[in-house]
Structure 1
Amino acid sequence: MVSTEVTHKVQLVDGVFTPSEASDVINSLIREKVNFHKLHRLSICEGDMHSDTNFDDSRVSQLLQEKENFKPIYKEAMLGGKRVKISGVLNIEIID
């Protein structure tokens, strides 16, 4: 897979949030990606129940684990009366 330079960047999220707001942002993003992979898995299996869905299965598991990994950060910020900075950029490039 040959990649060209980044052709577009999307500043998806960039801000400082209360712990509750940060939790909403993180959980919403993860929920959308989990739903994407579940729908993709379903579309692959639609014609063939024996299709390889390992990638989507793995990504769903990874994303759900990331959701769990955020919980201690959320709790620490809540208990400490802190805020949470979140920055996320999508780098979009055309590949071969």
Structure 2
Amino acid sequence: MENLTLEMSKNTNTLQEQQLKLIEGNFTKSEALKIINNVVNVKINFHKLQRLSKIEGNVNDKCTYDNSRISELIDDQADMKSFLRSLEVNGKNIKISSTINITVEE
């Protein structure tokens, strides 16, 4: 996974925008599966912790929350795994790129 890069670059137009090039490179099928799985798991865990922090200390909470984003991520993760596993790469690499754009909303 030597092609995995983490770099931040400032947008020259405004200081209210940032980009984080999270993933950029060519990966084996196995590496691609691990990367996608790990990135999505982090996001799923983030939503689970957010949900937990809302009820912490409230013994009367009925724990009824919108889990649609967690379910969506789990479904997307399964789709990506299925897609990547079905690929016949025959020694070829898989290119993955992911950039996070951060903008301050007015």
Query: Cα deviations across residues 41-85 of structure 1 (Å, max 9, x unaligned)?
Result: 00112236246631xx111111111111112321233x3323211
Among residues 72, 82, 102, which one is paired with 1:92 in the alignment? 102
Two-structure CA RMSD over aligned residues (Å): 2.0
Matched, 1:68 2:68: no
Once superposed, which parts of structure 1, at least 4 consecutive aligned residues long, lie more than 6 Å away?
none
Structure showing greater Rg: 2
Determine which structure has the larger strand proportion and give its number: 1
CA distance in 1, matches of 2:89, 2:26: 15
| TM-score, normalising length: structure 1 | 0.80
2:18 corresponding residue in structure 1 = 8
| TM-score, normalising length: structure 2 | 0.73
CA distance in 1, matches of 2:63, 2:105: 25
Identity percentage of aligned residues: 34
Unaligned runs of 5+ in 1: none
Amino acid in structure 1 at the alignment position of 2:40: I
* Structure with larger RCO (C-alpha < 8 A, sep 6+): 1
Q: Contact 2:29–2:89 (CA<8 Å) still a contact in 1?
A: no
CA distance in 2, matches of 1:59, 1:87: 22
Among residues 50, 53, 63, which one is paired with 2:65 in the alignment? 53
Matched positions, count: 89
